[in-house]
Structure 1
Amino acid sequence: MAVFGADRCGAAAVEFALVSVVFILTLTFTLGVALVIFLQQQLDHATDMAARQVMNGTVQKGAYSAAVFRQQVVCVNLPTIFSCGDTIVNLWTATEATSPGGYYSFVKSGAAGLVIPQLSNSVAQYSVGVQGSYEYLQVIYPITFLPSFVTSLFSSQTYNGVAAYMAVSTAAFRNEQY
């Protein structure tokens, strides 16, 4: 019996088996979070670029429809991992007002975050405004490729019946005198 207690031949394999599961889960979670942060940053960039084109009158002069705006202004600035068909774009003209009107109508009543509209481009709002008007651009991308237990940590939203983390990017601006 003393021989088995002193034998250390398989100790490293047993220790690796115990630690490797936690290591792989930690590594997977870290890579998933890094990917979500990267996608959020890319969505922010595309939203900024689209807002600039509305702000300086390019979209108004081109008379872009909502679908053309989404395809040719927003989606061209997104990486190929994004599906343009799943990208939801809302553009509102807001009034200059204090709470509860104006931009405050896009904030949840408890000021705990932004109001998320229906997740469909068929009911999306699209109003480019005119010179000097106040605009609010909201671009939403549902990230559905994460495991459901990870998605449930971040949000409880669903998109097309699948648990999804909603990456949301917004821009509030006033159109220039173009």
Structure 2
Amino acid sequence: MEGSSMVRQQMIQFLLFSSAQLGVRPIVKYTALSLYAERFYPSLNKKARFMRDNSKRNWLLQPFRESNMQLFALISLWISSKIHESCPLSVKSLKSLGDEIIGEQHFTIRDFLESEVVFMQVLDFEIGVSNIAFLFLEDLLIQFRELARVGELVNFETCMNIMDLLYETEETSSLYASPCSLAASILACFLT
């Protein structure tokens, strides 16, 4: 995708904005970021080529459109909420938000359902979420607070703001392979 770094940044900002509008818990937001930014988005070119070569064209992937990528960002939030919430986001709430903030196109509920299947196909139906930086950050902060008084001075909200910023600026890309290192790096910001 041309200008993929800029497109990726816009989609991350869209996902962060959408998660705030929907009022999801941090674990839902960071799982969605992991699914979308670390797995789905990097796989698009490879999967799109595969789908094109095998005559399995899908209008959501061919051609790449900003509105479709925004739809997939909402889908990542939906899947994440299904994993972490006993009462996940409804497709109606996602559609309502999409109608408000996706200017280029209005999607139907059927489009949301179809895009969920496409999203899962791109991920090869592998949605394991135990390797998320947010979970490591929570665990490290708990351990740090048990070991040292200075741990009580670390503001968890600020840690999450740093993680958001790193996702937005793509500074986490070299640390994607090691979410524990990413979490430790964020926590280390408070020690310097």
TM over 0.5: no
- Which protein shows a greater Rg? 1
Q: Give 1 or 2: higher strand fraction.
A: 1
TM-score of the aligned structures, taking structure 1 as reference length: 0.25
Which structure has the highest helix share of the two?
2
